[in-house]
Amino acid sequence: MFTVRTIDSLELPELEPYRTMRRPQEHCDRGIFVAEGEKVVRRLLESGFEVVSLLLPQKWVADYEPLVRARPEKDLQVFVTEMQVLEQLVGFPMFQGVLAVGKIPERASLSDVLDRTAAPRLWVAIDGLTSAENVGTIVRNCAAFNAHALLVGENSSSPYLRRAVRNSMGAIFHLPIIESRNLVDSLQTLRREGVRVIGAHPHVSGSLLWDAQFAGDCCLVFGSEGSGLSPEVLKICDSCVAIPMPPNVDSLNVNAAAAVFLYEASRQRRNV
């Protein structure tokens, strides 16, 4: 069940999440997020995530009506307005003008996700990744190369920040996410369950990517944009692996590095 409301005012209480899009951490603290863009909102509507409302120009209403009608929510609200009003509301130019508010699912436990993923497991963990855009792209890389879950360290940005959701292109709605309160403890739990913890780190002696083995249960750990993996995380890694590169190149962006690692892991697992 849903209602469609044409609006010409920006002051409705229900529009508050859209008015505060530039404060996404507040949204996360309240258990909600904003999805933006035609594809991302469509994938949200197709997912099992709870949807609170949509905000979009009139031209998109017919396209979204079948998806909205199929939703289980009894009080889903669809707000319709002109593009100029939307841009005034959010405070920046928009290309498509399609927005939605969803609810962040309950925090998943490590043990539950382990039980739901079959061997050989391929997990990804992030340590101190503070850029929401990078976190979102890591989520998309995980989906592209068949990773089973993403473990987010306590010092990383939430994958439910607006820019992270946008950069994931909706992959966030289908990839199991564990937001850890203590990444070191979580990685130690994985090790006890037989999952090898492999650090992606260019400045520690270890294997080169083409010599590493990713066919069994493993968790690939990627560090911050500046300093890489923390000493505490490095200490508990079973091994460290580097992408072979010329000496005059420091390292790849974490998103590019994750894509390279995940491609190689996927390649090794193609016949598993």
Q: What is the structure's pLDDT at 76?
A: 94
What is the per-residue DSSP string for 134-168?
HHHHHHHHHHHTT--EEEE-TTSPPTTSHHHHHHH
pTM here? Answer: 0.93
Residues 162, 20 contacting (CB under 8 angstroms) = no
Give residue 203's pLDDT band: very low, low, confident or very high (50, 70, 90). low
Distance CA 134, CA 168 (A): 9
pLDDT tens per residue across span 11-52: 889 999 998 988 999 999 999 999 999 999 999 999 999 999
Q: Order of strands, edge to edge, in the sheet holding 2-6?
A: 2-6, 76-80, 51-56, 99-103, 32-36
Q: What percent of the chain clears pLDDT 90, i.e. is strictly above it?
A: 74
- Which two structure tokens, joined as six digits, stand for 87? 């841009």
**Average pLDDT value for the chain:** 91
pLDDT in tens, 98-121: 999 999 999 999 999 999 998 999
Q: Which of 188, 186, 141, 179 is nearest to 160 (CA)?
A: 179
Provide the terminal-to-terminal Cα distance of the chain, rounded to the nearest Å: 44
Does residue 6 have a pLDDT over 60?
yes
Q: Are 34 and 21 in contact (CB under 8 A)?
A: yes
The confidence score (pLDDT) of residue 272 equals 57
Give the per-residue pLDDT at 11.
84
Contact status, residue 62 vs residue 120, Cβ threshold 8 Å:
no
pLDDT more than 70, % of the chain = 96
Distant-in-sequence, close-in-space partners of 203: CB < 8 Å, separation ≥ 6: 228, 242
- Delineate the domains of the chain, giving CATH numbers in brackets: 2-103 (3.30.1330.30), 110-268 (3.40.1280.10)
pLDDT at 260 > cutoff 90: yes
Whether 138 has a pLDDT exceeding 80, the answer reads: yes
Closest CA to 77 of 25, 133, 12: 12
What mean pLDDT is predicted for residues 157-172?
Answer: 97
User: Has residue 225 got a pLDDT over 90?
Assistant: no
Higher-confidence position of 106 and 93: 106
pLDDT at 95: 62
